[in-house]
Chain A
Amino acid sequence: MTDMTLDQDQRMLVDSARRYVERAYDTAVRERSIAHDAGCSPETWSAFAEMGWLAMAVPEAAGGLGAQTLDLCLLAEEMGRGAVNEPWVASGVLAASLLADAATPAVTDEWTGSLMDGSRRIAFVPSQPGLEVRKEGNSLSLRGSSGLVLGGARAEAWLVQADAGEGLAALVMVDARATGVDVRNCAMYDGRHAARLRFHGAAVTLVREDASASIDGLVAKSRQRATLAHCAETVGAMQRAYEITLEYLKTRRQFGRAVASNQVVQHRLVDLLVEIEEARALTQAAARMFDDVHAEDRASGRMIAAAAAYVSKAARQSWKECVQLHGAIGMTQEYELGQFVRRLAAAASLYGGESTNLERLASLSLDHEEASA
């Protein structure tokens, strides 16, 4: 069905992404990606680059396509439908757009070309207590530990947010070949790969140094875009898990009739359908608002927190219901549903999950005056 709420270009983006995922991203491709110790197969990443997907989140001023957040969401949803394993949201949206927003022209020139053509990939390391950058002689060095770095395994470099002392913070690039970094790669249960990093005096390149609040603001803006793309990707995975379940229940017969002919099953399928429709509508509405206003806007912040909380809740409900409605087959690794179950379970814990975003929403709604819209 044609989505009347999208314009012509947006419909073309959805169509071409869906065609690619359905035709080119088959089980063998996905398994190669999962087996690769980057959780990202180089051929696929190059294909993303050729289709322009790695340039979308990069602003036009930095040579990218400067796509709307809604466009990123439309693409992410198709990737979610195909259970694409490559860390597009982590590297292609979050890290790439933050670098482009924060960097001086010199750093941008050095990096964005290779990020967009897929020859190099970076991941973002958010600040942690004790993660500090200090001047040592003429150079900067980094100490401390990261949390789980999504897309961080086998990245060419990491973009790190660190304390710079005296109320300042910095964004710095750490080359993966630098000395003074311990890397522990880990495979996650949804097939993706992450890294945990420990820095002890690693040499870094300064991207930007500023008041902590300014750096936080820059990070928040990219993180909000990535959160919305993550929500959309999760909606795509829910949609596909739902289609698999619906098809199975229409086909599977017990007591001499299709399982889906039981009213108790039908009503649960309806609840899931509505959950997914609302999750998609909220994600897209939040993306439109984010593009229309600015990251500091409280109404936009409220929408993003609501979308992140809603999608997390819906993802959890979806995977559990899909397993229950399938019966035992839904718990097997080899059945098609399994990869979506694992992806949805993992997605529910990312970008703050339900609880953190609900408290953010409560704070935005209860701890401030409300402007009348």
Chain B
Amino acid sequence: MPDTSELTNFRRSVRDFVLTQLPDDIRDSIRRGQQLSRERTIAWHEILAANAYLVPHWPREWGGQGWSVSQQLAFDEEMCVHDAPELNSVTFDMIGPVLVRYGSDAQRTRFLPAIASGRQWWCQGYSEPNAGSDLASLATRAERRGDHYVVSGSKIWTSYAQYADWMFCLVRTDAQTKPQEGISFLLVDMKSPGITVRPIVGIHGWVVFNEVFLDSVEVPVANLVGEENRGWGIAKSLLEFERLKLARVGENKRRRARARAVALERVLGGRRIADEPWFRTRFAELDMRLAALEANAGRFIARAQAGETIGAEVSMLKLRGSQLIQLWEELIVDALGEDALPLDPVVLDGGCTAQGLDAITGTASSRRFLSRGYTIAGGSSEIQHNILAKQVLGL
């Protein structure tokens, strides 16, 4: 869909905001592909919150802006393309909207303003060692004792649990019925006695994942969202929030710009990488795929904008958007060649002030490894194929 002039003006105002308000040190870190600390991330949240840009997609009464679907996606894209940090979708796109829709009044007034201030960090306690794609087989148990649940078990692949103040969690409250019917949705304070967070260092060198152990953790019944044993429905509806975002058009564009910058700057054997036939063909292939992804996402956005209910076919955006990110990351690594081999932990964690090509070189390999998660998390590519086959093709 071509931008209408109103949307073009909107984009311009978002761009002006990010160009002037994003602190330089954060922009440089994102350009370098570094991970941000909790403190720096929250500093950015607070700037966004002060401008009513942190939760624009929420309902107005909880601080939202009442933007159209197109505006929301344009906002995300402008932020991303101009090197703002990606916001933690678990906090802003998942638990926030879940509480708006399913939370009690007490839960909403307690949590939503805290989240909208940018200072509260959430993580998602879904996967377990024996429940990955087959999430309904989860085994963490919650037993009700008076006004508390006692929760025991372990969660794994919990992203940024080391930063989190709270975790929303799927737990088994009834082991006697069908797997999906005995699951409840609980809000767990990460400072509760009995919680241990074990960091898992990834192949990229960063701690993104954690294992979270729960040993007889007491959770007030007031922290149950919705009804007991009805958590699966909430978890499923949560997967439907912000599904159009999963095309990740802005994130792909950011990587395209990085690949282009590397190729224009790096010279090997007297020739720019951008002039190498192999690079040109591969870059153009990905550019072509990106144009197709953006056009396809545009059709879905137009349909959503017209009030149409979007069905399971939207899975194709997640499928293609996540694969494409990986292909860009690989192209960047290949364009850097041997220069992408040295690994310096100091560089990964923000202790690098290089600009230009040198800035990208230090993190390219790690980001390439990190990007493998895109086709695993949130319903692996294989699961997306199954969804499309079953629900769209009727097979």
Contact = CB atoms under 8 A, between A and B. Distances in A.
A263 B386 CA distance: 8
B215 interface: no
A355 B281 CA distance: 8
Nearest to B304: A4
Contacts, number: 119
Nearest to A304: B291
Interface residues on B, range: 35 or more
A359 B285 CA distance: 9
A362 B284 contact: yes
Interface in B239-286: 260, 263-264, 274, 280-281, 283-285
Nearest to A284: B295
Interface in A269-296: 269-271, 273-274, 277-279, 281-282, 284-286, 288-289, 292
Given A5-B302, A281-B299, A282-B296, A273 B393 contact: yes
A4 B302 contact: yes
A365 B302 contact: no
Contacts of B291: 282, 285, 302-303, 306-307, 310
Nearest to A278: B292
Contact of A274 (B260, B274, B319): B319
B302 A310 contact: no
A4 B298 contact: no
B15 to A, nearest CB: 8
Contact of A282 (B292, B306, B319, B389): B292
A363 to B, nearest CB: 8
Contacts of B392: 270, 273
Given A5-B1, A278-B295, A366-B280, A266 B316 contact: no
B295 A282 contact: yes
A267 interface: yes
Interface residues of A, number: 44
B54 to A, nearest CB: 24
A131 to B, nearest CB: 30
Contacts of A370: 260
B303 A5 contact: yes
Interface in B304-326: 306, 308, 313, 316, 319-320
B389 A267 contact: yes
A274 B316 contact: yes
A278 B320 contact: yes
B393 A246 contact: yes
A24 to B, nearest CB: 30
A260 interface: yes
Contacts of B298: 281, 285
Contacts of A19: none
A261 interface: yes
Contacts of A253: none
Contacts of B313: 277
B288 interface: yes
A358 interface: yes
Nearest to A262: B395
B199 to A, nearest CB: 35
B287 interface: yes
Contact of B1 (A270, A282, A288): A288
A246 B395 CA distance: 10
B305 to A, nearest CB: 8
Contact of B284 (A263, A282, A358): A358
- Secondary structure at chain A's binding surface: helix, strand, loop or mixed? helix
B296 A278 contact: yes
A274 B280 contact: no
Nearest to B320: A274
B385 interface: yes
Nearest to B283: A362
B283 A266 contact: no
A285 B281 contact: no
Contacts of B285: 309, 358
Given A260-B395, A310-B292, A366 B274 contact: yes
Interface string B365-395: 0000000000000000010011011001101
A361 interface: yes
B146 interface: no
A284 B294 CA distance: 12
A214 to B, nearest CB: 28
A5 B385 CA distance: 25
Interface in A330-373: 355, 358-359, 361-363, 365-367, 370, 372
A214 B382 CA distance: 51
A250 interface: yes
A359 B280 CA distance: 7
A24 B263 CA distance: 54
Contacts of A250: 395
A309 to B, nearest CB: 5
B281 A277 contact: no
B388 A270 contact: yes
9 contacts: A269-B393, A270-B385, A274-B316, A285-B294, A310-B291, A355-B281, A358-B284, A366-B283, A372-B15
Interface of A: 4-5, 246, 250, 260-261, 263, 266-267, 269-271, 273-274, 277-279, 281-282, 284-286, 288-289, 292, 302-303, 305-307, 309-310, 313, 355, 358-359, 361-363, 365-367, 370, 372
List the 4 closest A-B pairs by CB distance, nearest first. Answer: A285-B295, A266-B389, A362-B280, A306-B291
